[in-house]
Amino acid sequence: MGEIREDIVIVGAGISGLATALGLHREGLRCLVLESSECLRNTGFALSLWTNAWRALDALGIGDHLRQHSLQNNEFQVFSADSGLPTASVPLQLHKKNFESRCLRRKLVLETLNKELPQGTIRYSSKVVMIEESGLFKLVHLSDGSVIKTKVLIGCDGVNSMVAKWLGLQSVVDSKRSAIRGFVEYPETHGYEPKFYAFFGGGVRFGFLPCDEKGLYWFCTYNQSSIPHCDQRDEHNPIKLKEFVLSKTRDVSKEVTEILERTPLDFISNARLKLRLPWNVLLGDIARDNVCVAGDALHPMTPDLGQGGCSALEDSVVLARCLGRAFSENQRDGDDGEVFTRIKESLERYKKERRWRSFVLISTAYLMGFIQESNSKVISYLRDNFLVHYTLRIALSMADFDCGKLLLP
């Protein structure tokens, strides 16, 4: 097959990849997104999007559309997973005016991003098997034998990113924790107020929140070492997973039990939680010359802050804005050396903006999970009586971040 030339190639058509592509499109730049699957990957049920994510979505021009399909959560309620008794309640608007928290179906977010992209932006069934250098360009080899020559290569290819490996970043590490997630849709309405309901303690972290009037998303993260009877062979058996979560929440409330029992087995999944060591983000190459990573390829983290998808959207806006400068109308001409110098400088700006932010999010999420899931009597006492308000305010502060606007042409 012949060699194809593209200015910008993105590997991965998840939220990070599609959002970056849309950001580049808003900047007047064309890109090609390579996706190994045969169609848009609608895996996953829902994701919680906080203020920082909505600022990014507004910058991309799709925030208002997505708001029409979601509920604004107005309170963060925390309960003891051991007793079911409330331990804290934080009205989100008291933290800061215009604070925004909504849970969206992941499929809706992906489809919305996809619809805003020019036709042909995504190339499906395109698995990357090798990356090599060709002078100042990068050659991306695909499993079908085709080769794409590009000026910019962006890795949005998840926790096991090939682009991250090419940059020399260390492999992600197992946090020794797992997350069971589920989604249930009621025939009419679930009747729950738009709040984030969280239950901490006993070695688990359970929570649920409404996406809309009919849909509820729930999760249960747990420390594998504190639950020795959880058989690894049952990690992907939805019947066993449902039984396990029911056993860990039986003392919480009848409402929680009812939510779990209503959840169809096809809407229950489990995954081990992985993260990139935070000092690897600080010291490693998250961008080099004309190659960089974003989203989970850059900063896989535990979900304790609910910032995985949010920070990926931040990355997308920042990256599109930086590359927009490199390819601006008054700088499109020039020899290859000048073009690549501008690209390198733009990715250096991106690296500078995202390195410390990623480090803080990974580190804070890990510490929050340790506190929230611990079954130590001392930590449980401190958490329920002193730390719960403090940790909640940290989480809200992490979400009060503005990635800025795009440089629209």
Which SS3 state, helix, strand or coil, does residue 122 take?
strand
Residue 325 main-chain phi, psi, to 5 deg? -65, -40
Q: Is residue 405 part of a domain?
A: no
Q: Is residue 116 part of a domain?
A: yes
Please give the tally of structural domains in the chain: 1
Q: Which residue range forms the structural domain that includes residue 226? A: 4-399
* Nearest-angstrom CA–CA distance, 85 and 401: 32
- Structure tokens belonging to residue 85: 């008794």
Q: Is residue 409 part of a domain?
A: no
pLDDT band at 44 (very low <50, low <70, confident <90, very high): confident
Put simply, whether the predicted model's pTM sits higher than 0.95 gets the answer no
Q: What's the pLDDT tens digit per position in 150-191?
A: 999 999 999 999 999 999 999 999 998 899 999 999 999 999
Query: What mean pLDDT comes out for the span 288-307?
Result: 96
Q: Is residue 244 part of a domain?
A: yes
The enclosing domain of 174 has a CATH number of: 3.50.50.60
CA-nearest of 210, 231, 220 to 179 is: 220
Q: What's the pLDDT tens digit per position in 80-127?
A: 776 777 777 778 776 566 789 999 999 999 999 999 999 999 999 999
Torsion of Cα atoms, 388 then 390 then 394 then 397, to 10°: 120
Query: What mean pLDDT comes out for the span 3-11?
Result: 94
- Mean pLDDT, the chain, integer: 89
Q: Is residue 92 part of a domain?
A: yes
The secondary structure of residue 302, as a DSSP letter, is -
pLDDT at 9 over 80: yes
Task: Give the DSSP H or E segment for 397.
Answer: helix 388-399
Higher pLDDT, 193 or 231: 193
Burial 32-54 (b: 16+ CB within 10 A, else e): bbbbbeeebbeebbbbbbbbbbb
Q: Is residue 322 part of a domain?
A: yes
- Structure tokens belonging to residue 279: 């000092």
Q: Is residue 257 part of a domain?
A: yes
Q: Is residue 103 part of a domain?
A: yes
